[in-house]
Structure formats: C-alpha cells, structure tokens
Structure 1
Amino acid sequence: MRTVCVIILAVCVAGCQPPGTDHDVNTAKAKQMFEAFNRHDWNAMASFYTEPASFLDPSFGMDHVSKTRNEIAAKYADLEKMFPDVHDEVTGLYASGDKVTVEFVSSGTAPDGSSFRLPIATILTFKDGLIVKDATYYDN
C-alpha cells in the first residue's frame, strides 16, 4: 500500500508544471491583454496577437478569419465608439498546454443610455508568447 501511495504522489508531482512555464506566461499574457482592453488601449491589446492571427467570432461570421493587428485595434475602437465605457470583467481563467480559456462578462452603455451585459468565453491559443488563435463564443 505504501508503494502505491508513493507512486501516486510521484505521478501527481510529475504532472504539475513548475512556476515560470509557458502555462504561467500565457496566463499572465491573457490577463495583460484584458487589462489593455479595459484601458481601451487597442494597439496594446492587439500587440498580444501574432501578425496576422486567426479568429473565430460570431461578429466575423461562422468561419475562422485572419485579422491583422491594425484590424483588431480598429474593431475595438469601433466598439468603443458604440459603447464608450465598454468593459470586460474576467470571471474565470483556465490554462492547459498552449491554450488559455477566459470566461468574462462584457458590458457597456451606449450614448443613448441603452446598455448590455454579455457572458463570453474565449479560448486563446499561444505560440512563442503571442496569441495565434482566438476562438470566442457568445450568444449573438
């Protein structure tokens, strides 16, 4: 029995990733990207993506599309025009391998006083410290 416990403990320890791994770096970069979003610093936000990056987003249609950093920044600058106080509240962050899944609630108020709150989930795929793929899911 003691041998079985030691083996189980060894497997559990071996499966844990030590601090400083890509796993941690990607999670930190995902947080920083959302911080840039909430500052409305669209160029800084776009800098977390490769040039270009792949997007799956209902606002772009049903298929993956390729977007440059300039196109990413422009999309969110347009969103800010519609909702000047647009904000994303991150409610969950989960990393596995090269992917970070982010759960968040996006909200904003239009100049006419109408507002929205929308739960969203995004799966970010990283390569060499940058987001190569952004798959975003929400009820359009």
Structure 2
Amino acid sequence: MSEQSRSVQSRTLVKNAWKAFAGHDAERIAAVFTEDAEWLAPPENATAVALEGPGHLVGRDAIVRFLAVDFPRFFVRDVAVTFHGFYADGDRVTVEETMTATLANGNHYANDYCFVFELQDGLIHRVREYMDTARAHRMVFGGAPNTRDQV
C-alpha cells in the first residue's frame, strides 16, 4: 500500500472513531482501539480532576469506560464538536477541533483541542490530547488552576 493510501485509510479510521465516540456505544468504541491502547491528556486536567480519574488512561477498557460512561455524565448536553482539520501522515492522524457543551454543574464549556492519534494494525494505539488546561479549569471550577507545579 502506498504512503498516500495508508494516510487516507488512517484519516478515515479516525473520522469513523469520532462517530463511535459521539454515540457513547461501548462496543463500537472498543472496536477501534488496541487492547493496550493509551490516551494521554495533560496531568490534572479539569475533566480528570472533576471525575477523580487519571489524565493518562491505559488499556482499551479504561478508554471505553471514559468515553461511554464518564464523558456523558460530565458533558451532559449540547455537546458539539467543530472539526477544523484532519491531517494524516501514514499511521499518524492529527485532529484540530473545538468542543462545546453544557457541564453537569450547568456551566458552559468551550475549548480548542489538538489530538494526535497513533495507529497500529488498523486500530488506535495511542492518543495524545492537547488543550488549554487553564481555560478548562476556569469553566469547570470557576477559578485558576493550582499553580504549585508552575515556575
């Protein structure tokens, strides 16, 4: 398979994965991840703190639980994702997006994200998530994040 064909295939796989994520169907979500997949978000990001969970999810089951169970109980309604780009290079796909939602506490949420998906054997093996963590913290908790680790 040519590099261009592999990139097209990778981009299609990630676009279809987003559809599975949006449906919160555990079986459909599980079908797109390797068993030992990882999802790495910034440590102590507002969502992880509010849900009392880790920012680094290890294993398909942990990722599925977050996307199928925890995500919809935190982002409770009006969830909308506006995609700004899907960029593929072989087995890596970068996604730029803006997500808006209403949080469980009633606050409005709007943040920009960048995700880097690493694929292995036609499945998602690793996701690296980047966002404005200070902005998210303000929307979730109403104040500045703990700055104990910042210089």
Tell me the CA shift for residue 45 of structure 1: 2.3
1:133 matched residue in structure 2? 126
SS at match of 1:116: strand
2:13 matched residue in structure 1? 29
Q: Say if 1:27 and 1:95, in contact at 8 Å, map to a contact too.
A: yes
Tell me the CA shift for residue 107 of structure 1: 1.7
Query: Deviations for 1:30-88, whole angstroms, at most 9, x for unmatched residues?
Result: 00011112222243123211111123211444xxx562222112112212112222333
Distance 1:114 1:125, change over 3 A: same
1:104 matched residue in structure 2? 97
* TM-score normalised by L of structure 2: 0.70
Q: Say if 1:38 and 1:88, in contact at 8 Å, map to a contact too.
A: no
Separation of aligned partners in 2, 1:37 and 1:100: 16
Separation of aligned partners in 1, 2:104 and 2:39: 28
* TM-score normalised by L of structure 1: 0.75
1:68 matched residue in structure 2? 59
Tell me the CA shift for residue 105 of structure 1: 1.1
Separation of aligned partners in 2, 1:119 and 1:109: 15
Separation of aligned partners in 2, 1:112 and 1:39: 22
Separation of aligned partners in 2, 1:95 and 1:80: 28
2:110 matched residue in structure 1? 117
Distance 1:49 1:79, change over 3 A: same
Tell me the CA shift for residue 97 of structure 1: 1.9
Distance 1:46 1:117, change over 3 A: farther
2:49 matched residue in structure 1? none
- Alignment root-mean-square deviation, CA: 2.1
SS at match of 2:106: coil
Stretches of 4+ aligned residues off by more than 6 angstroms: none
Tell me the CA shift for residue 111 of structure 1: 4.2
Gaps in structure 1 of 5+ consecutive residues: 1-14
Whichever of the two has the greater Rg, that structure is 1
SS at match of 1:71: helix
Q: Say if 1:37 and 1:88, in contact at 8 Å, map to a contact too.
A: no
